[in-house]
Structure 1
């Protein structure tokens, strides 16, 4: 069991990491300011570098009024084979009035036999904005390992001013034929989702990004706006680097529209 609780506040000198409480092997090192004092960058570190069966990672992030935070991870999260109990990552984000958050983790890599729960919940104010992505790679294809056994449970929830506006509850079972059918993942080993919510998320964004959506032999994507104003971009691919670069391109163009600030590539992406 590992826990991390982060609280960010906006002060006269900019956004600061007010408190960082951790239990077990889950922590941050220090606040970084590559974009200036207004935007606080933090990298969440899990020293074991992998999640095994029975492990639970509990992350809670609060971004207070008018603060802007960028959160990321230094490397792929590896989900190892679960011999008995499932592994769980539960993340709770809370955004105050006018707060902004970019959640840009590296991909999740699921080993054959992984039994995983990915739970992400967001509660934001009507004037705050949020951009996040989640990438999954099923199996270690560089090592010739296919994801022929395993399960992934995904639960995403977004609440605005306490009211539920979007929920996604899905289950991917490697041994379920339907999971590999065309309406689901087909034979694609990589799937990614980017979602954004904020006052500027409208149908106009769908029109802008529709032309960016590729449909090739290596990457296929689509964009939609949910009725309550949640923008979704989904893609499948046979290459995690291609998918990652696509999401970076979308975020780069989307960030000024949603957060009102220019996009600056993370230093982690250059490594």
Structure 2
């Protein structure tokens, strides 16, 4: 059957997961205000290491995502709250029988809040169909460090993504309106798109990092000086923003994104220069 044939309605059981997480402040620091979670998503709260803000660890109890699955993720930090959100493991998107896997994320940071949104990589199996949307709203004085990595195929098995869908959209809003927007759209013959010399040039993975608020612009030279930042890396400073991207082998991109997170969380966020334990265990 041709791959451009419209997908038929699926009779398979699909996941409909969600979480809504709110952090606030109290005399002892940042505290959990509200948590709603819907299977297969679960939020765990490991004890933070010294000097670290509260950690929310996202776990997908299903072990992966299939076509037709829907995840809705929402995080709000009240004024002055500080928190880190990561994932317990890399996320996997399996080959779809037709429908798309939809992931919708919403971040709201009130005045003076700080959030690290640093999930581990998302691995797209050959034939996966991803439709992902991220929106973040920042009040004055809020700071967001966000990083996402897409791996095109199971690199450890030598698999490359040859067909499927990758639709990834980011929107960043401030009090004055839209601050930054970005969209990636790949569909159909992904082997050609990912192999194009003036496109992805055969890269196994794409890493994206965004720092918004604070002294974001001043951090460009710091990133460019990192030893892992040179191959396939691009940094784009804008008023109040810093965007960095990496293309290359999956392991190298993960290493580069991790090094950038460590450097920025220390220099821009005043946190210890280390990755969360979830990234290293």
Structure 1 unmatched ranges of 5 or more: none
Runs of 4 or more, structure 1, over 4 Å off, are: 213-216
SS at match of 1:249: helix
Alignment correspondent of 1:186:
201
Which TM-score applies when normalising by structure 1? 0.91
Distance 1:141 1:251, change over 3 A: closer
8 Å CA contact retained: 2:194, 2:202:
no
Tell me the distance in 1 between the aligned counterparts of 2:159 and 2:124.
Answer: 10
8 Å CA contact retained: 1:51, 1:87:
yes
Following TM superposition, by how much is the alpha carbon of 1:140 offset from its aligned partner in structure 2, in angstroms? 1.2
Following TM superposition, by how much is the alpha carbon of 1:214 offset from its aligned partner in structure 2, in angstroms? 4.9
Tell me the distance in 1 between the aligned counterparts of 2:84 and 2:22.
Answer: 13
SS at match of 1:250: helix
Alignment correspondent of 1:234:
245
Deviations 1:197-216 (A, max 9, x none): 112112x3223322326577
Alignment correspondent of 1:12:
27
Tell me the distance in 2 between the aligned counterparts of 1:229 and 1:235.
Answer: 21
8 Å CA contact retained: 2:223, 2:229:
no
Following TM superposition, by how much is the alpha carbon of 1:28 offset from its aligned partner in structure 2, in angstroms? 0.8
Alignment correspondent of 2:11:
none
Alignment correspondent of 2:87:
73
Structure 2 unmatched ranges of 5 or more: 1-15
8 Å CA contact retained: 1:60, 1:92:
yes
Which residue, 131, 137, 142 being the options, matches 1:117? 131
Tell me the distance in 2 between the aligned counterparts of 1:136 and 1:200.
Answer: 27
Aligned residues: 265
Which residue, 227, 232, 239 being the options, matches 1:220? 232
Instruction: Please report the RMSD computed on the Cα atoms of aligned residues, expressed in angstroms.
Output: 1.9
SS at match of 1:150: strand
Distance 1:247 1:125, change over 3 A: same
SS at match of 2:189: coil
Which residue, 129, 142, 148 being the options, matches 2:143? 129
Which residue, 48, 53, 72 being the options, matches 1:39? 53
Tell me the distance in 1 between the aligned counterparts of 2:188 and 2:226.
Answer: 30
Which TM-score applies when normalising by structure 2? 0.88
